[in-house]
Amino acid sequence: MNDRSDAAPVPPIYDSSTYRPERSLGLLMRRVLGSVLQEADRRLAEHDLTHAQWMPLFKLLKCCAGDSVTVASLARDLDVDPAAVTRMLDRLEAKGLVRRERSTSDRRVVQLVLTEAGREVAEKVPPVLVDVLNAHLAGFRPEEFEMLMSLLQRMLANGEAMRARAGGDPA
């Protein structure tokens, strides 16, 4: 969408009569994400972690002090079904990396906390992610990276606006 109302309309990028799967932005973004996750998984396997496990550990490591992380909030942040998060947390808890604690102010709320062993493992995640992402961005200039980020954020905002107009969940 155009930000300026006086600017000429921007024509659509895709046309159904000429659309080809090999030019699909969605497929390309999925392949890039798959490549990043596959390499991160390969490198984190030595720490006995899978993608489903290192992502929540990383999130718990990076959450701000004083913030409560619950199964529901973690599921929302990771865009994963709460039942899947619960199963994954069961595995992390069995490994001694995470523990569940009842809230002192509301016993219905269960907060997630990294154990010391969980913190040690979680601290191994950021250097791996940085290496993997930098390898995928090899040859990009900083301004190209900033443009890529800006364009992807714009696409995300367009999708959120589309869902909001349709009455769906904007997040």
What Cα–Cα distance (Å) separates residue 127 from each residue in 51, 121, 134, 169? 15, 12, 10, 34
Q: Which residues pair with 101 in a beta bridge?
A: 111
Q: What is the DSSP string of 32-85?
A: HHHHHHHHHHHHHGGGT--HHHHHHHHHHHHSPTT---BHHHHHHHHT--HHHH
Residue from 60, 147, 141, 139 nearest 101 by CA: 60
pLDDT tens profile 152-168: 999 999 999 999 999 86
Determine which of 43-47, 59-63, 95-99, 123-127 has the lowest per-residue pLDDT on average.
Answer: 59-63
In a domain, 6, yes or no: no
Question: Which CATH number do you get for residue 141?
Answer: 1.10.10.10
Per-residue pLDDT at 68 = 73
Residue 98 DSSP SS3: strand
Residue with tokens 């905002």: 157
Domain ranges, residue 37 = 26-163
- Single out the residue of 63, 44, 51, 48 nearest to residue 113, CA to CA: 63
Total count of domains within the chain: 1
User: What is the pTM for the complete model shown?
Assistant: 0.79
Predicted local confidence at residue 71, as pLDDT:
87
In a domain, 169, yes or no: no
